[in-house]
Every structure is written in structure tokens, then in C-alpha cells.
Chain A
Amino acid sequence: MQGMKKFGVGAVALFLSLSARADYTWNFPEPVTPMALDTLHVHNKFMLITAVIFVAVLAIMIYSIVTHRHSKGHKPVADKAPSTAVEIFWTLIPFAILLLIDFVIMGIPAYHSVVMMEDTRDQSTMVIKITGSQWRWQYEYLDGDAKGIKFVSNLATTNDQMHNEADKGEHYLLEVDNPLVLPVGEKVRILMTASDVLHNWWVPQFGSSRVAVPGFIRETWVQVEKEGVYRGQCKELCGKGHGYMPVVVNAVSKQEFAQWATKKQGEQQAANDVKEMTKDELLAQGKVVYEKNCAVCHQVTGAGLPPAFPALTGSKIATGPIFGADGKYQKDSHLDRVLNGKGVMPPWKSTLNDTEIAAVITYERNALGNTAAVDGLVQPTQVKAARE
């Protein structure tokens, strides 16, 4: 058993040396919702119980291994051939103990947390809808101060950082352009869905995780009790961007939330007022929209990743006409594709506003190696008309 000892000592040494470092987490991160707190308690309790069982069994086994050895001349006990009654007795005892542990000591708290976790409506004061799509989250406030606010939240970490060409920031891969903002102390009911494949919205400090299923609505809730910024990630394999779909939640006081809501509503209003724009304006905004939303698949250069993700450079759709003689946009045109999507390409009509769509189309037709002869400029008004 020399080796066994060595192993034990080695493992302990390894972990002692690790715990000397400060930034290690050995357990769930600090809970900030009732659900996460409850989950942590249940987890700690279960872990303790199983650890005690494990150590007890291990101790008995090691004792036996050390003493009942052939090399020490230990003779096997004469086999008394236990009677069936004895055998049953000795299997039933641990059985009964386990019954108690499983269904009483562990079973009852587990019951309570399940019921609590699934109770999404009781006392909830606010409803938001979260939509997962490849590879971003879309948030929509359905009622309350922030009613009508709707935005998309994208990964903000730069490509250079991911490819080790720039230093990684503190929140590498866990930062977004538009965090979800929630008021502290309110029970928020969350409706969850997806637009393409399964996703899972997860913030470890909230203890909530729910699969977003396309075509269905799932529910969960959060009630953040402490102001702060909380970070999480998509937890359901959803394609190549799965690792790049962070969730960032900004939990603020109720007043701050109301202020934020007013400001955001104003911004949104302004963005929705469509006006004629110059080509330069469109191109500038289009570049931003493109790099945030489209470059994941079509690449920053427009080269795409054929065959799954077609190139935009020289593409028939991105250079062909959009509008017919009657001024209406044509089926399978650039505008149609961006509004309605096709196959793996998602529809953008509910994610981007008229200006953004007009800008990105103009950008795609005049940059990325393309020079559009006809319909080089698409105006927000035209997009607005196309939606109707």
C-alpha cells in the first residue's frame, strides 16, 4: 500500500498548493437570489452527506486492505455460508439507512427547492422575454417601467483577444455590448424561447438555468437581492458560437432602473423614427451592425465559410437588384434574405430596426469588395415599407 499512501500525500500536497492562490472557486459562486442560495444549501448538504458516506466506506475498506492481507498471513474466515435470513438482514440494514438518507434527509429539502424553483408567477412584478439565437441574446421588457424596450446583447470581447493577438481583458468572453438591466429586489418572471436551436440562459449566481426551445415558451424567474454585475454563459451546445454567447446582467436599484428605462425608451424612439440618410451615414452605421451581427458567419471580410456560410463578396444576392419595376422588394433579394432569413441564416426583422437593416444592406453592397450598380443605397423608409 506504499503507492496508495504516496498518492494520498501527493493529492493533498497538490490541493494545498492550489488553495494558496486567491482566485480559485471551489464551490458555487456567491449566490444573489433566493433560488441560488437554496441551491447552494442543498448542494452543500448533499455533498457533506455523500462525503461522509464515502470516507466511512473508504476507511472500512482501507482497514480491511491493510489487515486482511495474504502477505501478513491472514487466513480467510471459514465460510460459514450465511443463511438466507442473515444475508437478507445484512443487506436490508444498509438499505434502510439509505432509504432514510435518500428520501428523508435529502428528499425533503430537495422537494422544497423544486417547488420553489418552478413557482414563476407568485408575487412576480415584472415580465421579460428572453430569446436565444445563434449567437446572441435578445431581451424584451413586456410590462412595467421598461415596457417596450427591446434590444440584442452580443459578445463584446474582440477577435484579437480570442486569437491571442491582444491581451485578454478581465472579463474575457464574459462581456457584452448591451447587458440586461434588472431592478434589485423584484421578482422577475422570465419567458424563454429561441429562434433557431436550443440555448440555455444561465447565470451561476442566480441558480437559474432554463433551456430556450424554438417554438415553445419556457418559464423561470429571478429575484436579484444585491446590486452588481453578474455574468454567465449559454449552456446548451448551439453550434460554433456556443462558447461566445455570454449573459451579463446589471442589477440596479429601482430608481436607477426607472431612469435607465426612460433613457432607453427615448433612444429606441429616436432610432425607430426613420429618416433619409446619406450614403456615408449608412455605411458607417452599417459597418458596426455588420461586424456585430453578421461577421460571425460571413467573416469580417465577407469571405464566408462555404459551404455552410456563403460569401457575400461577389454574391449574386448582395449585388443583384432588390426592387422590381413596381418599387416593391423582390423575393430572394438581398432585403428579403436579411428580413426573413433562410435555412441557417436567421431572420433579422425582429432583431434589427429599419435603420440598422438599411445600413447593413448598404454596407454589404458597397464594401466587402462589392460595388453595387443598382440599388446601392437602401433607405430606412424603404425597409419600413417592406415590412408592411
Chain B
Amino acid sequence: MSTTTVAHHDEHHDDHPTGIMRWLTTTNHKDIGTMYLTFSLVMFLVGGSMILGIRAELFKPGLQLMNPEFFNQLIGVHALIMIFAALMPAATGFANWMLPLQIGAPDMALPRLNNWGFWILPPSAILLTLPFTLALFGVGDGALATGWTFYPPLSVQGGIGVDFAIFAVHLLGISSVLGSINIIVTIYNMRAPGMTLMKMPMFAWGWLITAFLLIATIPVLAGAVTMLLTDRHFGTHFFDAAGGGDPIMFQHLFWFFGHPEVYILLLPVWGFIPQILQTFSRKPMYGYKAQVYSLWSIGALAVVVWAHHFFTAGMPVPALLYFMYSTMAISLPLAVLFYCWIRTMWKGSMSFETPMLFTVGWIILFGIGGLTGLVLADVAADAQYHNSYFVVAHFHYTLFAGGIMGIMAGVYYWLPKMTGHMYNEKLGKTHFWLTAISFNVTFIPQFFVGLAGMPRRIPDYALQFAEFNMISTVGAFVLGLSQLLFVYIIISCVKGGKKATDRVWEGAQGLEWTLSSPPPYHSFTEQPVVK
């Protein structure tokens, strides 16, 4: 292990570059983590403002703000940004910041690779948003208008925006694979003496499984979009029946990546939620081993259920049944996780600082996401839910509540450690309540319009859906504006505030809390030993 660190001994002096060069060239895991987190926050706001455009258009029936083509572009880019540029980098940011601290390592195993992994992101974000700008100058016809799923033949018809998005997805994929390799190598090689795998913090487990999933599925996505690219420009017919191809094959390839992707977004969160729970329950987490095994089972099941995303595209009955039952099976390990989380709180000594509020809210809202997912697995009923607003509501309960709100819990939990200052607790709590309430106001109505028959991805709707859509839009604007408070809280915490102690939270457990707040530029110059 020491060899890895010696190899980079030029970075082991405290006189690191300062100013802009510090950030451009840094190989320090904390700097890179900070960059990932900042990038993610910025993109969260970008993706969020796009969807506010959509929600404003849907405020009442009729077309008022944009044409349908632009509407479709906003939807697709919103999703790509939220998934690839907001949620995934946030999880990677925490991995960079916290994994070395939690497992007692001086840095990530492959620091140069780490730097590259990050700097691939901003160009791909630009590629995703550039087509809008180009279209303003009359070049091309805007961003991809196919939804984030790129389904052919629509995506074969599309303009230059589709090529931009394909290229962006390639870059984003490379970045996550690089990040994953780094995380796997770090976890396997850099743990402090005495920290066996089964003593590792849960966050490390969550990320380890995520990293394997990423390495297994990103190449499939890259392959699928490359085939799309050659269909578009080089006369191949992978997805064109006229040339012997099949458009549905694309959906198989896409969702072989796409389904695990939702677990990729959530597994890191499932890692740190139990850590936050044990801290604020002042009680060790319940069922550590059961949780680890559950995470593995979910990771394994994630790659065998992909076709439940297109039940209505036509499949033989045995295939439908297989995908239905295997999807339902995911609820088993997930239930074990819920059980362990609640058992951790049970008979603890709970206090409700902002991170704990977000965690408890997260359990409830993510629970709704999970249970509606169980219902979606039913093939016959899914004929109704599929591509309706019911699905939009369901996946926002998993991705926004289960993903973003989990990340927010993590931000409040570790912010004092990272900055050395306490954030403003009162504002934090306000942020939580605003977010939780407006989130529900936004998405509960979408369940009902979905059941009543409103398809997703439509720029205008029948009059019977009007009131619910209006409520949803009001909720979305409050939700969006509340996030400005979040930004304010973070900025003021970085700038100053009450000094944070090393342990920060009374019940905090784990190596990261043995370092000063903020941790020194080079953490663990002396290796900790875990007993």
C-alpha cells in the first residue's frame, strides 16, 4: 500500500499549486471531490430550470411558451443532465471525499486518472447543452428530442442534436468507468490494516457494487449508441427492419444498461443512509451483514430485469412472466434493507438535525417509490401505467426522493467535516420542509393524472387533467426555488460559521471523524489501524 503513495511523492509536500492551477491539475482526492460536488450542484440547477420550463408550459392546457419540438428537447436533456451530470457526479464526489477518509487511506489509488475522470465531465455537459445554443444561430435543429432513451427509429430521424448527445454519453460513460476502476482499486488495496472487507463502512460497499455495475453495463450503452450512430450516418441497419434489423433490439441493449443505472444512482445512497441513521440514533446500525448481502443481491438482480421497461413492446408470455417475477423479487432484499434501517432507529436515542430529517424523509418517500415500483412490475397493469404520468411520478420518488434527497442528507452530514464550519441548522431544517412538502405537491398529482390516462412526454393535454397539472406546476416552482436556499446554505457554510469539532455529531462513528475538520490537505499521513 505504501508503494502507491510513494510513487506520487511529489505531491507529498504541503506546497501544492494554488489558485486556478490548483483545481486544474489537482490529484488530491478532496479537491477532486469538491469539484465533482460543485459540478453536480450546478448541473442540478441547470437540469432543474429546464424542467421548470416544461412545467410552466404544462401549467394550463394549450401551447403557450414553446413549440412541441422544443418541449421534447427539454425533456430529454433534463433527464440526461439530472442522471449523468447531477446525481452520478454527486455520488462520485462523495466517493472521492469520503472513501479514503473512511477506509484510512491517504488518497485514491489512481490520482491522475481521478483528475481525468473529472475533467471529462464539463465538456460532455457542454455537448449536451450546446445544441440549444447552436440552434439559436440557425445551426442544426436543437438538442435530441427523443427523450433520454434515444429510441430508434425516432432517434435515426433526429438532427445533429442526437449526435451531440451520443458523443456526450460516450464521454460521460468513460468518466464513470474511470471513476469506477479507481474506486475498486482503492477499496481493494488501500484499506488501513485491520479493516477487513466485512468491517468496511457501508458506503464503501454501496460504491463497490455500483462500480462493478458500471463497468458491466456502460460498455453496453456505449455499444448501443454507437450502433445508433452508424445507423444514422453509415448505412447500417441494426435497428431498421427494412435492412433486417429490429428497433426493439435497441431497447434491450439500452435497458440492459438503463435498469442497472437506477441502482447505480441509488446504491451509494444506500451506503451512507445507514451511517447517518446510526449516528443520529446513537446506536450501531442493525444487520450490517444482512445489508451487505442485500446490496449484492440487488446488484445481481439489477442486471436481469431490464425488459420490464417495455412490456408493451411485445414479448412471448414466458418472457413476460420471467421479467415480472424477477422484478418483484427485487422487493425482497429491498425490504430487508428497509427493515434494517428502521430497526436501527428502533429504541435508539434519536435527534433530528437536518441530515437525520432528510434521512427519515428519504425513507418514507423512497418507500413510496419502491412500493409503486412493485406495482409496476405487474405486466397487465403496466399496460396502463407504462409511459403514463404514473411512471413519471414513480421514478421521481425513486430518483429525486431516493437519489437527490439522499445526497442532500449526505451533504448536511459531511458539510461540517468538509468545510470546518457548521451550516445554519435553522435554514437547513427550513430547506428540508420546503423540499419535502413541495416535492409531494409536485408529484402526487402526477400519480392521479397518470392513472386517469395522461401519457407522458406530451406538450399539451386534455381538459380533464388541467387542475392536477396546475397543482403540480406550483409544487415544482416552490421545489425549484427552495433549492436556491440550499445553495445559499452551502455557500455561507463554506465561507464561515461556527467552528465544527472533529467528531461533529455526538454519535458519529467511523475513521473520517478522527481527523480534524476540515481534514488536512493530506489525510492520514500516519496510517490508522483498525482493531
Contact = CB atoms under 8 A, between A and B. Distances in A.
Interface of A: 3, 7, 10-11, 14, 18, 21, 23-29, 35, 38-39, 42-43, 46-47, 50, 53-54, 57-58, 60-61, 64-65, 68-71, 74-77, 79, 84, 87-88, 90-91, 94-95, 98-99, 102-103, 106-107, 110-111, 113-118, 161-164, 168, 170-174, 196-198, 200, 202, 204, 207-211, 213-216, 218-219, 231-244, 307-308, 343-344
Contacts of B468: 24
A197 B149 CA distance: 14
B380 A235 contact: no
A77 B429 CA distance: 28
Contacts of A236: 151, 387
A69 B387 contact: no
B62 A163 contact: yes
Interface residues of B, number: 99
Given A46-B381, A76-B282, A308-B159, A233 B458 contact: yes
Given A70-B349, A173-B462, A235-B387, A98 B335 contact: yes
B336 A94 contact: yes
A358 to B, nearest CB: 28
A77 B346 CA distance: 9
Query: Which 8 pairs of residues, A with B, have the shortest CB-CB distance?
Result: A215-B241, A113-B380, A243-B458, A204-B453, A25-B452, A50-B371, A70-B351, A76-B283
Contacts of B289: 84, 87
B369 to A, nearest CB: 11
A91 B341 CA distance: 12
Given A110-B324, A241-B68, A42 B380 contact: yes
Interface string B252-270: 0000000000000000000
30 contacts: A10-B437, A24-B448, A24-B467, A25-B453, A26-B452, A43-B375, A46-B378, A50-B374, A57-B342, A60-B342, A64-B350, A65-B345, A65-B360, A75-B349, A76-B348, A79-B284, A90-B339, A102-B374, A107-B328, A110-B324, A110-B380, A117-B380, A118-B317, A172-B61, A204-B452, A208-B383, A211-B314, A216-B248, A239-B145, A240-B69
B350 A70 contact: yes
A173 B461 contact: yes
Interface in B228-250: 240-242, 246-248
Interface in B334-382: 335-336, 338-340, 342-343, 345-351, 360, 363-364, 367-368, 371-372, 374-375, 378-381
Contacts of A77: 283, 347-348
Interface string B115-145: 0000000000000000000000000010001
A79 B72 contact: no
Contacts, number: 292
A243 B345 contact: no
Contacts of A39: 380-381, 383-384
A91 B336 contact: yes
B312 interface: yes
B434 to A, nearest CB: 10
Given A64-B346, A70-B350, A84-B289, A172 B463 contact: yes
Given A39-B384, A200-B387, A207-B383, A110 B378 contact: yes
B455 interface: yes
Contacts of B287: 87, 90-91
B63 interface: yes
B64 interface: yes
A111 B321 contact: yes
Contacts of A60: 342, 346
B351 A94 contact: no
Given A14-B471, A170-B463, A233-B455, 19 more contacts: A28-B453, A38-B380, A57-B338, A64-B342, A68-B347, A71-B351, A76-B283, A77-B283, A77-B347, A103-B325, A168-B61, A209-B312, A213-B248, A215-B246, A235-B386, A237-B72, A237-B154, A240-B72, A243-B68
A216 B62 contact: no
B157 interface: yes
